[in-house]
Structure 1
Amino acid sequence: MKTSRLFRLLGGLCLAVLTAASTAFAFEGKVDMTLTNGPKDKDPMAMSYRMKGEKMRMDFGGADSSSKKKKKKNDAAGAMIMDFKKKEMTMLIDEEKMYMVRELPELKPEDTKRKKGDEEFKPTGRKEKIAGVEAEEYVGKADGRIVEVWVTKEMGRYVSQQGAEGKGGWEAFMEKENMFPLRTITRKKVGGPEESRMEVTAIDRSKQDGKLFEPPSDYTKMEMPNMGDMLKGLIPGR
C-alpha cells in the first residue's frame, strides 16, 4: 500500500485519538485488522490494537512493534499508545528508539453532529459473525460516499484520530452509539465497487502486559515537531 493511501485510510479508519469523555474499555485483548484501498489493492496494510483498562495501543505495519516477527521493507515502524486517564497520546518511533507525547482533544457535542449531505446510518437487518463476534450492518452516507459498517458493542467505543473538522459522519456515529466497527466499506454510490475496506481478522481476549502501554525504557523522549515532520519520521518514504 502506498504511503498516500495509508494516510487516506488511517484518516478515516484508525483508532488513534481518545477523548476525555472516554471510560475504561470493557474489552481487554488484541484486535488484528487489514486495510485495503479497493479490490485491486495487492498490498493491504496490517494493523493491530491492544486494549487494557483506560489504555489503548495501535501498531501498524506487517507486525506490531512488540513482536519479533520480521517486518516487510516498506512497513511502518512505530506505534501509538493512548491513555484515557492522562489524556495523552504517545507515539513510538522504533527506528530511532524515540517517542513523543501529545495531548488528546476533548470531544464536544457538536463533534457528533452530521455534516451537510450526510445521511443517517440505519440498520439493514443483516447480521454476520466477523472474527467470531456477532456484527450488525448499518448503511449511511458520509463525506459524499456510501459507507457500510458492520458493528458490535462488545468491543467498547470507537474513537477517531480526527478532530471535529476532519471527522467523517460514520466516525461520529460510531462514537455516539458506543459501537466498534468490525468491517467498514466505502463506495462512491450504492452497488458501486469498493473504494476502501477495513476488516477485523482476529480477536485475542487474553490479558495484556501493562508494559506494552508504556514507552520502552531505552527510548528517548522527543519534543513534539509539526505533524508533517512527525509523520516523515514515522512512515518510511514519506
Structure 2
Amino acid sequence: MKHYLRAGWMGIMAALAVSSAVAFEGRVSLAITSGKDREQVIDFATKGDLVRMEPQSAEAAGATMIMNAAKQEMTILIPRERMYMVMPLRGGAAAEPGTGSADVKAEKTGRTAKILGYDCEEYVMSDKGETTELWLTEQLGNFMGLGGGNPMGGMMGGRKAKPEGAAWEKLLKGKKGVFPLRVVGRDARGKEKFRLETKKIEPGALPDDLFAPPAGFQKFAMPAMGGFGA
C-alpha cells in the first residue's frame, strides 16, 4: 500500500480523523496520483472503527483489506483463493520530543469551493517551501479511511503527534467533522507532486457483514509476516 499513499500527508489525515468523534458512514471512491505514476483508484467503505479498502487495479487482483481499529487488526481477503488472513496492526515508533520541523504551519486560506455538491474550505500546510492544500467539508463527518482507522497513520510516528499533527489538531479544534475531498501537494517551486481526488461519495448505513470474511472463505496464517505497519 505504500505505492498508493504518501506518508507525508497521511500524518495530516490522521490528525483530521481524531479531531471529532463524528465518523462518516458509507462508500467513497478516491483517485490518487503521485509524480509520474498513473492514477490509482481505491474504493473505501467505512463504518465506525471499521474500514474496508479495495484497490481497483489489475495488480491487486481483487484483494481487499479490512481494518478494525477497535481490535487493532487487519483482515486481508483473497477472493481468487476464497481465503483470508488476519494480522495485528502495529504503529511505528513514537516520535521523539523535538523531532520534525519546527517551521510547520497550518492555516485556513478563506477560499471556498463546491466539490461533488459539498461546501469545502481550503486549508494549507507549509513546511520548508513545500505545501499541501486540503479542501475539507464539514457536511459529511470524519472520513476514517485516511486516518484513525487506517494503519498507515503509524508511518507518521505512532500515537504521539508530530509538529504537523499538532498544528492541524489546534486549527480544527471544535469542528463536528472534516472530510478531505481534495488534497494537493506541491514542491517549493509550486509543481504538483501528488493529488487525491474524491470521485464518488455514497453516504448511508452499511451492513456489518461487509467488514467480515464472506461465508465459505478459509482462514490461513503466515507467521513470518508480523504485524502491518511494524
Would you call these one fold, judging by a TM-score over 0.5?
Answer: yes
* Structure 1 residue 50 corresponds to structure 2 residue 49: no
Which letter maps to 2:220? M
* Structure 1 residue 128 corresponds to structure 2 residue 128: no
Which letter maps to 1:91? I
Counterpart in the other structure of 1:149: 134
Q: How does 1:181-220 map to 2 (within 5 A)?
A: 181-189=180-188, 192-220=190-218
> Number of aligned pairs?
210
Question: Which moves more between the two structures, 211-220 or 77-86?
Answer: 77-86
Which whole-Å deviations, capped at 9, do the CAs of 1:65-84 have from their partners, x for residues lacking one? xxxxxxxx445521211223
For the residue of structure 2 that corresponds to 1:10, the secondary structure is: coil
Contact 1:23 1:54 (C-alpha < 8 Å) held by counterparts: no
For the residue of structure 1 that corresponds to 2:23, the secondary structure is: coil
Please provide the CA RMSD for this pair.
4.1
Q: Which of the numbers 34, 37, 44 marks the counterpart of 2:34?
A: 37
Distance 1:221 1:143 in 2: 47
| CA shift for structure 1 position 227 | 5.4
Q: How does 1:1-238 map to 2 (within 5 A)?
A: 7-12=2-7, 26-38=23-35, 41=37, 43-62=38-57, 73-105=58-90, 115-116=100-101, 118-141=103-126, 145-153=130-138, 154-156=140-142, 157=144, 158-159=147-148, 160=150, 161-163=152-154, 165=156, 177=172, 179-189=178-188, 192-225=190-223
Query: Residues 105, 192 of structure 1: CA spacing in aligned structure 2 closer, same or farther, 3 A cutoff?
Result: same
Query: Residues 155, 127 of structure 1: CA spacing in aligned structure 2 closer, same or farther, 3 A cutoff?
Result: same
**Higher RCO (C-alpha under 8 Å, 6+ residues apart):** 2
Distance 1:223 1:118 in 2: 45
Which letter maps to 1:185? V
Structure 1 gap ranges (5+): 1-5, 63-72, 231-238
Query: Residues 23, 126 of structure 1: CA spacing in aligned structure 2 closer, same or farther, 3 A cutoff?
Result: closer
| CA shift for structure 1 position 60 | 0.9
Contact 1:98 1:220 (C-alpha < 8 Å) held by counterparts: yes
Which letter maps to 2:206? Q
Distance 1:49 1:226 in 2: 28
Which whole-Å deviations, capped at 9, do the CAs of 1:77-132 have from their partners, x for residues lacking one? 21211223323221222333322222334799969x98225512111111112222
Which whole-Å deviations, capped at 9, do the CAs of 1:112-153 have from their partners, x for residues lacking one? x98225512111111112222222111113587321111234
| CA shift for structure 1 position 30 | 0.4
TM-score for both structures, normalised by structure 2: 0.70
For the residue of structure 1 that corresponds to 2:41, the secondary structure is: strand
| CA shift for structure 1 position 205 | 1.3
| CA shift for structure 1 position 226 | 5.2
| CA shift for structure 1 position 213 | 0.5
For the residue of structure 1 that corresponds to 2:153, the secondary structure is: coil
| CA shift for structure 1 position 175 | 6.8
| CA shift for structure 1 position 162 | 3.4
For the residue of structure 2 that corresponds to 1:212, the secondary structure is: helix
Aligned-residue sequence identity (percent) comes to 34
